[in-house]
Amino acid sequence: MRFQKNHKFGFTTDKDKPLTASVCLRVDEELAAKLKSIPNWQQHLRDAASKLVEKIECD
């Protein structure tokens, strides 16, 4: 079965901007385990990254 664009089961998002880019970050195993134990950890990291960029751009 080939992938079909715009099919009825296509991915949708409720975000203002679609999350299409990725960033790889290396951390130690202990920190990775602690992060992954936090509910909704990916969104928390996105928020922290956005705040960091805003802070640096304002300085």
What residue spans define the domains of the chain? Answer: 29-58
Tokens of 48: 């922290």
Question: Which pTM value belongs to this model?
Answer: 0.70
> Measured at the alpha carbon of residue 10, what is the angle toward residues 6 and 11, in degrees to the nearest 5?
130
Q: For the purposes of burial, counting CB atoms within 10 Å of the CB of 48, is it exposed (0-12), middle (13-18) or buried (19 or more)?
A: exposed
* pLDDT score for 11: 64
Residues with Cβ within 8 Å of 13's Cβ and at least 6 positions away in sequence, in order, are: 19
Comparing 15 with 3, which gets the higher pLDDT?
A: 15
Q: Which amino acid is at 16?
A: D
Residue range 12-32, pLDDT digits in tens: 677 788 888 899 999 999 999
